[in-house]
Amino acid sequence: MKAKVLAAFIAIKAIALLTLAITADSKGSSLTKIFSRWDAQWYRRIAQDGYGYTVTTSDGRTLSDYAFFPLYPYIERWVHEVTSLSYINSGVVISALSSIVAALGIFLVVERTIGSKVAFYTVIIWAALPIAAVQTLAYSESLFTALAAWALYFTLKRQWILAGALALLSGLTRPTAIAIVVAVMAGALIELQKRRGDKSALVALLIAPLGMIGYIYWVGTQLDGWSSYFIVTDGWGNGFDGGQAFVAWITDFFKDGQPIVGLLILLAISTLIVLLWSLWRKSLPTPLFLYTVILVSLSLTTSGYFGSKPRYLLPAFPLLIPIAIHLNKGRRGNQKFVLAGIVLISFIYGAIWLTGNGPL
């Protein structure tokens, strides 16, 4: 089953890439241009020149590259040095390989929790999400998802040293790694309550947050103290506001005569809530449920460019489990039809999206 799911995943990504290339060419663009846009350039600068680059926007805000965590661009630098690929292409290679590793990790987590068939459908749906095109961009989402999925897998297997180490690395990848850090720490605490002498669980508890804490501390040493990282994120407009900016953004659609857009966003939020409720009813292991809830909460309660919110949820693969369970209960012919439809929509949407405004 593992070989089958990986073959299906790679096939979907390959066809998606071909579709994107054809669409880009028809619009006078290319894969190289698409891969070199948006956050990929920030990662490329860090990989090439290190930290310290800033941009002042027209409204007076300062955008600093310290907002981007270091693991992805430093691996990008290493791949560039080893292979002589360009920095951007090195990033694409990292993301492509990481997405495959993530797919296997997702399969193993869901297989252990629910079963192999549901795990298969979960991976296929994850590969074919409308925003799945991000999985092969020179972005950190695939690397983070791979680290998080395997950290969850080792947490479920009670292999605490590996779980803690992967949580630590996740904390060097993205700020949303707080979700996997808390999940692993919660699993370790539960284990310590059951087996007080388990030293490996204690080690995991202690090392899991070190990556994130270490990077935030390091930014403070480079700038103006421990709060510097949070000042940097404020410059990007990505601070925590409890969802106020998100609510205001949705409200503006109704005020500006675009109620359909506002209603669609509310429908999407309602769907997230229903999926979380379904996960709660399935009595998933605490670390897995915590990881998902925190990722969803962070996506809805932080400010910033809201067009990017869907890709922030890309690592929240457990949300797909209820859909996969429902699909698994259907007739075989219907399953193939639904999956084919999902994949086709993903190809079309991804190609149009990335040759247009993109994920930002």
The pairing of beta strand 54-56 with beta strand 62-64 = antiparallel
pLDDT digits (tens, 9 = 90+) for 2-27: 889 999 999 998 888 888 888 877 77
| pLDDT tens-digit readout, 320-348 | 999 999 888 866 656 666 777 777 777 66
Q: Which of 229-238, 248-257, 343-352 has the lowest mean pLDDT?
A: 343-352
pLDDT at 304 over 70: no
pLDDT at 189: 95
Query: Is 71 a residue whose pLDDT tops 90?
Result: yes
- The neighbour count for residue 242, using CB atoms within 10 Å, is 11
- State percent of the chain over pLDDT 70: 91
Q: What is the pLDDT of residue 337?
A: 66
Is the pLDDT at 131 greater than 90, yes or no? Answer: no
Please name the amino acid found at residue 190.
I
Residue 167 has pLDDT above 90, yes or no: yes
User: What is the model's pLDDT at position 328?
Assistant: 83
pLDDT at 204: 96
Please provide the distance, in angstroms rounded to a whole number, between the alpha carbons at the two ends of the chain: 36
pTM reported for the whole predicted model:
0.92
Domain boundaries, the chain: 2-313+335-354
- Mean pLDDT (whole number) for 88-117: 96
Question: Which stretch, 59-63, 128-132, 143-147, 223-227, has highest mean pLDDT?
Answer: 143-147
Give the chain as a 3 state SS string. Answer: CHHHHHHHHHHHHHHHHHHHHHHHHHCCCCHHHHHCCCHHHHHHHHHHHCCCCEEECCCCCEEEHHHCCCHHHHHHHHHHHHHCCCHHHHHHHHHHHHHHHHHHHHHHHHHHHCCHHHHHHHHHHHHCCCCHHHHHCCCCHHHHHHHHHHHHHHHHCCCHHHHHHHHHHHCCCCHHHHHHHHHHHHHHHHHHHHCCCCHHHHHHHHHCCHHHHHHHHHHHHHCCCCCHHHHHHHHCCCCECCCHHHHHHHHHHHHCCCHHHHHHHHHHHHHHHHHHHHHHHCCCCHHHHHHHHHHHHHHHHECCCHHHHHHHCCCCHHHHHHHHHHHHCCCHHHHHHHHHHHHHHHHHHHHHHHCCCCCC
- Predicted pLDDT of residue 123: 96
- 83 token code pair: 């292979």
Of 124-128, 155-159, 242-246, 286-290, least confident by mean pLDDT is 242-246
- Tell me the pLDDT band of 261, cut-offs 50, 70 and 90: confident
Which pLDDT score is estimated for 344? Answer: 74
Higher pLDDT, 155 or 37: 155
Note the pLDDT of residue 18: 84
Mean pLDDT, residues 126-137 taken together = 88
Question: pLDDT band at 237, cuts 50/70/90?
Answer: confident
Residue 111 scores a pLDDT above 90: yes
| Whether the predicted pLDDT of 357 surpasses 70 | no
Closest CA to 146 of 98, 182, 180: 98
Nearest 10 degrees: CA dihedral of 132, 138, 140, 146? 60
Per-residue pLDDT at 354 exceeds 70: no
pLDDT on residue 326: 86
Q: What is the pLDDT of residues 265-286, one digit of tens each?
A: 888 888 889 999 999 988 889 9
Mean pLDDT of the residues in the chain: 88
Is residue 358 over pLDDT 60?
no
